[in-house]
């Protein structure tokens, strides 16, 4: 067993997020976007001696390489997919643990029925699109379909997650690591899964690819209530969203103002703007940062490599 797979006292009490991909829709390589970063959605969370990963956009590729670097059996990874649009799964087949015989990966994400998520992911490795099928990838993997309203608990590191229906109030008080799910229909065509991670009275919410309604969705505001951090879709500027020439309404993403509105109504402590429009260069992102801070002081524009410690 290598040092990565064995939690020690220092890592066990850590609750640390790292952004590996923050871009929406498609990756960018233009030099003037690389300050914020060009990889698509991927957030790594080290918590309670475990490694949770939110989305498998291209950001998961360098993360997977780091996890496997020098390790014959890398730590088990729990990958939570918001949905299976291509920008959120594009890195999955290049995630090193899935290509490594001794590695173990649990993949969880929306699927209306048992096996539905597996069937969606198999499309990725259709022989016309990719030369190796999902089932042929060497790493051990288990795939779980979620319908929303679940609470997910973890046994000892590396064990299969326990997925149950949520009971009111049974999650927060215990202080144990739990992930709650909330399915939203506010993203075309099949909706999106939002996640809330709790550990020792700290929590964050991952809410990407959601188009808020005027005033925010009450269930989303409730789901994010009082969180220490809200990671929220903020792809568009207001003028892009309501542009007459190319309106983005109905495309499934929020504006900066919508993300701020939900953060304020939910009373979160910090807001991280996420899923950035790929045509927004670093200069535009700087101006978005200033604009958002003017609306809600505790706002950051998520960028590749950013680390946030919740504990």
15 vs 241 by CB, closer to Zn ion: 241
Binding site for Zn ion (CB under 5 A): 24, 85, 87, 209
Nearer to Zn ion, 67 or 89 (CB): 89
Q: Which is nearer to Zn ion, 24 or 59 (CB)?
A: 24
CB of 77 to Zn ion, least distance (A): 21
Q: State how far the Cα of 110 lies from the Cα of 192, in Å rounded to an integer.
A: 7
Question: Distance between CA 12 and CA 17 in Å, rounded?
Answer: 14
Helix (H) or strand (E) holding 129: none
Compute the least distance from the CB of residue 44 to Zn ion, in Å: 18
Q: Cis omega before residue 151 (within 30°)?
A: no
CB of 171 to Zn ion, least distance (A): 27
Smaller CB separation from Zn ion, 50 or 85: 85
Q: How far is the CB of 234 from Zn ion (least distance, A)?
A: 12
Residue whose Cβ sits closest to Zn ion: 85
Least Å from the CB of residue 121 to Zn ion: 15
For the bound state, the minimum distance from the C-beta of residue 113 to Zn ion, rounded and expressed in Å, comes to: 21
- If the CB atoms of residues 64 and 252 are measured against Zn ion, the closer one turns out to be 252
> How far apart, in whole angstroms, are the C-alpha atoms of residue 169 and residue 8?
30
Q: Among candidates 149, 275, 293, which has minimal Cα distance to 222?
A: 149
- The secondary structure element, H or E, covering residue 9 is helix 9-12
Tell me how crowded residue 162 is: count the other CB atoms within 10 A of its CB: 12
Name the helix (H) or strand (E) containing 301: strand 299-301
Which CB sits closer to Zn ion, 13 or 26? 26
Q: How far apart are CB 229 and Zn ion at their closest, in Å?
A: 19
| Residue 127 CB neighbour total at 10 angstroms | 8
Hey, is 228 helix, strand or coil?
coil
Instruction: Name the helix (H) or strand (E) containing 287.
Output: helix 282-295
CB atoms within 10 A of CB 281: 16
Q: Which two tokens stand for residue 280?
A: 């927004």
- Tokens found for residue 13: 């009490």
Query: Cα 182 to chain center, whole Å?
Result: 13
Q: What are the φ/ψ torsions at residue 231 (nearest 5 degrees)? A: -95, 115
Q: Which is nearer to Zn ion, 44 or 209 (CB)?
A: 209
Least distance in angstroms from the C-beta of 23 to Zn ion = 9
Residue 209 or 277 with smaller CB distance to Zn ion: 209
């Amino acid at each position: 067993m290598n040092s990565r797979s064995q939690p020690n006292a220092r890592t066990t009490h850590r609750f640390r997020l790292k952004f590996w991909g923050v871009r929406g829709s498609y990756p960018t390589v233009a030099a003037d976007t690389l300050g914020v970063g060009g990889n698509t959605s991927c957030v790594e969370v080290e918590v309670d001696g475990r490694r949770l990963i939110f989305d498998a956009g291209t950001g998961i590729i360098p993360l997977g390489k780091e996890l496997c670097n020098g390790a014959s059996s890398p730590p088990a990874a729990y990958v939570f997919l918001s949905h299976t649009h291509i920008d959120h799964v594009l890195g999955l087949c290049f995630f090193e643990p899935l290509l490594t015989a001794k590695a173990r990966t649990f993949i969880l994400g929306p699927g209306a029925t048992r096996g539905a998520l597996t069937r969606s992911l198999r499309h990725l490795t259709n022989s016309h699109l990719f030369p190796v099928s999902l089932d042929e990838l060497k790493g051990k993997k288990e795939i779980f379909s979620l319908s929303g309203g679940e609470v997910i608990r973890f046994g000892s590191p590396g064990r299969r997650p326990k997925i149950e229906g949520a009971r009111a109030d049974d999650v927060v008080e215990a202080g144990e690591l739990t992930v709650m799910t909330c399915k939203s229909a506010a993203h075309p065509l099949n909706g999106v899964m939002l996640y809330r991670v709790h550990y020792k009275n700290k929590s964050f919410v991952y809410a990407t690819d959601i188009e808020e309604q005027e005033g925010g969705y009450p269930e989303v505001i409730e789901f994010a209530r009082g969180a220490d951090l809200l990671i929220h879709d903020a792809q568009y500027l207001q003028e892009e969203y309501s542009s007459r020439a190319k309106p983005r309404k109905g495309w499934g993403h929020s504006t900066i103002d919508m993300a701020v509105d939900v953060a304020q109504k939910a009373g979160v402590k910090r807001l991280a703007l996420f899923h950035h429009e790929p045509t927004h260069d670093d200069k535009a992102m700087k101006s978005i940062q200033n604009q958002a801070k003017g609306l809600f002081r505790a706002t950051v524009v998520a960028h590749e490599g950013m680390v946030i410690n919740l504990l």
